[in-house]
């Protein structure tokens, strides 16, 4: 390999690397969106458990890809949504128990 071929090979590697960085993380984005929807649906619907489970699954899958920003945010928001959901269920049972 002469120096010109090495330079071209290096430029191709840089171009591939730049392309890889600019590709969107669709699983991370889907997990983030589902997490946001789940946090609002938790307030109105007990069926939001499906949304936050899917949100955390997609976000965790998205953590294995780059960029990781939305996947990390989706994981955190899904965990918060799960905590809010479980807390609401516990309080509901406490209220029902208190009324009886």
* 89 φψ region: left (φ > 0), alpha (ψ -120 to 50), beta (else): alpha
Distance between CA atoms of residues 43 and 24, nearest Å:
30
Q: Say if 3 falls within a structural domain.
A: no
Give the range of the structural domain holding residue 65, as residue numbers without chain letter: 25-99
Q: Say if 7 falls within a structural domain.
A: no
Percent of the chain at pLDDT > 70 equals: 78
Q: Say if 71 falls within a structural domain.
A: yes
SS3 content of the chain, % helix, strand, coil (to 5): 85, 0, 15
Mean pLDDT is lowest, of 14-18, 52-56, 61-65, for 14-18
List pLDDT tens digits, range 26-54: 999 999 999 999 888 877 777 788 888 99
> What's the structural domain count of the chain?
1
Q: Say if 76 falls within a structural domain.
A: yes
What residues contact 88, with CB distance under 8 A and at least 6 apart?
A: 42
Q: Say if 16 falls within a structural domain.
A: no
């Amino acid at each position: 390999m002469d120096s010109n071929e090495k330079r071209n090979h290096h430029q191709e590697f840089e171009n591939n690397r730049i392309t890889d960085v600019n590709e969107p993380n669709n699983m991370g984005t889907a997990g983030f969106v589902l997490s946001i929807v789940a946090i609002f649906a938790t307030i109105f619907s007990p069926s939001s458990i499906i949304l936050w489970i899917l949100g955390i699954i997609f976000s965790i899958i998205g953590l294995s890809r780059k960029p990781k920003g939305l996947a990390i945010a989706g994981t955190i928001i899904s965990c918060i949504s799960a905590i809010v959901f479980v807390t609401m269920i516990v309080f509901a049972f406490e209220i029902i128990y208190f009324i009886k």
